[in-house]
Structure 1
């Protein structure tokens, strides 16, 4: 199991919309996330800075393939067409990232 964290900005005028979307997340999107070996997925919002922090546990053996399966899913693509316009990627993200991945520096069970 690997814990992962990531950050992205949230456009100020999109906070209510983003919260509403996630209050009624689509079952097919959630099923695809689970099928790609992601567990304990949580997104936090820090206002007024409008920074989203996401964390999950990856329980698979081929992260690239599992992420490709999510990206190829037509329902997930429809979901992203709603959520992506709400988000504002960080300037410091790596090429090819939408959410900026973070390094774990501390964990306590």
Structure 2
């Protein structure tokens, strides 16, 4: 089964640019380990230098929803999300955070891919 490719966006608060870049230069080892254990590979986050963060990754597992639930269950990941969510503004109506609600990062539809 080929990897599932996922792209997402969220908005970064202008006051948080430095702090966001700094924390992502030193991602906590527990968070990195959970990302690996949840079958996420080739994960990148880009910033457009205005307000949009664009993330892309490949999901190589067989149970995406189950892996995302395992991610949410990790207390250190939830702590990380609590910190980074405070630096962001979600484009999802009714979003309350990464760990709860309808989602935080908006998933994008892929319209073109060339390997």
The reply to whether TM is greater than 0.5 is yes
Unpaired runs of at least 5, structure 2: 96-100
SS at match of 2:8: strand
Aligned pair partner of 1:96 in 96, 102, 105? 102
Unpaired runs of at least 5, structure 1: none
Q: Provide the residue aligned with 2:87 in structure 1.
A: 86
1:57-96 to 2 correspondences below 5 Å = 57-91=58-92, 96=102
Q: Provide the residue aligned with 2:18 in structure 1.
A: 16
**Residue 7 of structure 2 is aligned to residue 2 of structure 1:** no
Contact 2:8 2:56 in 1 (8 A): yes
CA RMSD of aligned residues (A): 1.5
Q: What is the TM-score normalised by the length of structure 1?
A: 0.93
Distance 1:55 1:99 in 2: 11
SS at match of 1:75: helix
Distance 2:74 2:92 in 1: 27
Aligned pair partner of 1:108 in 79, 98, 114? 114
